[in-house]
Structure 1
Amino acid sequence: MAEPTSNKAFPVSWDQFHRDARALAWRLAEKGPFEAIVCITRGGLVPAAIICRELGLRLIETVCVASYHDYKNQSELKVLKDVAPSIKAIGDGKGRGVLVVDDLTDTGKTARVVREMLPNAHFATVYAKPAGVPTVDTFITEVSQDTWIYFPWDMGLAYVEPIAKDHKG
């Protein structure tokens, strides 16, 4: 997905992201128990760390899927690292008892690829766009499809133009 031309931006601070990830952990506590967590890198690393702490999970795995190769345009998905066989063997051998975490589901393409690996896992994201909502089981905040989320690890402090360009004052 190309960065939207509508200039709809949803900047997320570290504090807000931490609160949202903890809120996700609260919701997930009722959905478990989970034996392991798989975070989709790189975006899933930060919420997975928070959720692991909150839910007391110690078995942590990554699945590495690249979709944004230049940070703005989504292109062909590439699985760089699959889930370890020991994780796939948990529960029913299809992911039951495994929690998969990412920061965002945008189009749902990444979630669909990972769901093929772990079809019975519980998928959770902090944020979701309408096209991606059907691919996850639990999320905290939905934003419109044409909104670009700026995560705290992608930002620095800088001046931001007012929404109204003719703003006086």
Structure 2
Amino acid sequence: MAAIAFELSSDEDLVAAWRRGDELAASELVHRHAPALGRYLVALGAASSDVEDILQDAFFRAFRRVESWRGEGSFRGWLFRIGANVLRDRFRQGKGRTVLSLDGHDVAHHADPAAELVASDIEARLSAALLRLPPMQRAVFLLRAQQGMDYNDAARAAGTTPGAARVHYHHAVRQLKEWIQ
């Protein structure tokens, strides 16, 4: 019964429960956010084989610093920022590799080989174009387009302001359209 209550709880309620020492609340936060955070990290350049370790480090940092989250933005945005910081730290230490996948999965299999070829070509061009974007534009674009975050949460996760996030997003969209056509 408690698991059902946790599934219906907001992130804010789960964080409050975690702060009171409820480990099931922490487990629900991991269950709720790890898949999307993992996809985001891969899109930022994390090797698929390293994502589990990066996620573990990100959640460890988040739970160790849970008192510092003041609820001014979404918990998800705050967590994604921590994940991006862990990834950046790994790159600085030489433990990261640049590998880009839009969703962490292979291209969808189509019954029609021609459709599969077109989908593969589009994904390859988009992946190459994403790598050409400046890091902040790429991060904001992925947070908005792939993770569905609003500008406030994307800004918090990327470490910028909402106004700057809007600008980065629109520049990224314009560049991607130009490069993919």
Q: In proportion to residue count, which structure has more strand?
A: 1
TM-score, length-scaled by structure 2: 0.24
State the structure with more CA Rg: 2
TM-score, length-scaled by structure 1: 0.25
